[in-house]
Amino acid sequence: MWGVDASAAMLDLMAAKAGGDGVRGFLGDIASFGLPVDAPAFGLVFAAFNTFCLLAEEAAQRSCLERVAAVAAPGGRLVLEVFVPPLAIARGGVVEITDVTSDRLVLRAFRRWPDAETFEGHHVELTEAGGVRLRPWRLRAPQPAMLDALAAAAGWRLLERTSGWSGEPFSDVSRRHVSTYALS
């Protein structure tokens, strides 16, 4: 198994969890990664937990899809797990409670940019001890049809879309999708 991550700490964690079981990690950006010349053509490439959305610009997402197509084996598969962005968000943004305990409160505050695909926000953690921790984020989550068009332009065709990893049917009310593409 091979992995690409922009964080050396995450690659170290991956290596520790693998325990030397043939996992190779490479430091790089998923939009423009390079691999050694001895890298195989890959039959499966996946990005889970909205990783693809962390590429917050359309050009970066397009580059990622093209780069993955370049390292995929003929007939290779690409699997993306992506949240479905809500169509209706209040003009001023949204604040949600994500965790509450007796000494801790975690909020997610975010807003949608005018392009309707880009979101920015913070995870805000408040503790009884008086600590405040802000974890900023920015992402781009195209609607499924827009993602399909972007993938098609890079040589991918949609094979299947489910609402989760267990094959739950995808519908208009699904909050996420797991989309499987094949190299055309």
CATH label of the domain that carries residue 47: 3.40.50.150
Same domain, yes or no, for 77 and 146? yes
| pLDDT at residue number 50 | 92
Q: Is the pLDDT of residue 183 over 90?
A: yes
| pLDDT at residue number 24 | 87
Query: Which residue range(s) make up the domain with 40?
Result: 2-85+141-183
Half-sphere exposure of 20 (CA within 13 A, CB side): 0
Each residue's pLDDT tens digit, 104-143: 999 999 998 877 789 999 999 999 998 999 999 999 999 9
Same domain, yes or no, for 106 and 178? no
For 170, the token pair is 């995808």
Same domain, yes or no, for 12 and 68? yes
Same domain, yes or no, for 8 and 56? yes
Residues in the chain: 184
Number of Cβ within 10 Å of residue 89's Cβ equals 14
Same domain, yes or no, for 104 and 162? no
For 140, the token pair is 């781009």
Same domain, yes or no, for 12 and 64? yes
**Which class for 112: exposed (0-12), middle (13-18), buried (19 or more C-beta within 10 A)?**
buried
In the predicted model, what is the mean pLDDT of residues 162-174? 97
Same domain, yes or no, for 10 and 36? yes
**Which class for 123: exposed (0-12), middle (13-18), buried (19 or more C-beta within 10 A)?**
middle
In the predicted model, what is the mean pLDDT of residues 49-60? 94
When the pLDDT of each residue in the chain is averaged and rounded to a whole number, the result is 92
Q: Are strands 132-140 and 2-5 parallel, antiparallel or unpaired?
A: unpaired
The pTM of the full predicted model, rounded to 2 decimals, is: 0.87
Non-local (6+) Cβ contacts of 60 within 8 A are: 31
Helix-helix angle 58-71:144-153, to 10 degrees: 50
Query: Who has greater pLDDT, 134 or 35?
Result: 134
CA 61 and chain centroid, separation: 10
Same domain, yes or no, for 129 and 159? no
Which CATH number belongs to the domain containing residue 127 in this structure?
2.20.25.570
Same domain, yes or no, for 26 and 7? yes
Determine the 3-state secondary structure of 45 from DSSP.
strand
Same domain, yes or no, for 127 and 81? no
What's the CA angle centered on 26, arms 34 and 35, to 5 degrees? 25
Question: How many domains, in total, are found in the chain?
Answer: 2
Q: Are strands 156-162 and 132-140 parallel, antiparallel or unpaired?
A: unpaired
What's the CA angle centered on 64, arms 173 and 175, to 5 degrees? 10
Same domain, yes or no, for 27 and 72? yes
Give dist(CA 34, CA 28) in Å, integer.
Answer: 7
Same domain, yes or no, for 71 and 8? yes
